[in-house]
Homo-oligomer: A and B are copies of this chain.
């Protein structure tokens, strides 16, 4: 699973029906400028460090085998002191 930081909620009104009205968050992977969209069944707030699961497991984690997610938050990390910024300077 990836270690990501929550940035903000993403609004996408035009969407396929299977997505339903689950909450979508923009998250940034640790040590990267890459941003992705994750389904949030946990209830996160901006700034939280979270564990995000991909692959087919992201579907069950979002609530059902049929749910169209490839990236779902499965937990909030209690405490994370990030060292990626320092590493990124190399």
Complex contact A15–B74 (CB within 8 A): yes
How far apart are the CA atoms of A70 and B41 in the complex, in Å?
Answer: 17
Interface flag for A37 (CB, 8 Å): yes
Complex contact A61–B68 (CB within 8 A): yes
Further pairs besides A1-B38, A3-B37: 18, Cβ < 8 Å: A2-B36, A10-B77, A11-B78, A11-B79, A12-B51, A12-B78, A15-B51, A15-B74, A16-B42, A19-B74, A24-B75, A31-B35, A53-B70, A54-B55, A54-B70, A56-B56, A57-B68, A68-B72
25 contacts between A and B (CB under 8 A): A1-B24, A1-B36, A1-B70, A11-B77, A12-B77, A12-B78, A14-B76, A15-B51, A15-B75, A15-B76, A16-B74, A18-B60, A18-B74, A19-B75, A24-B51, A31-B33, A33-B88, A37-B51, A53-B69, A54-B70, A56-B57, A57-B59, A57-B68, A61-B68, A68-B74
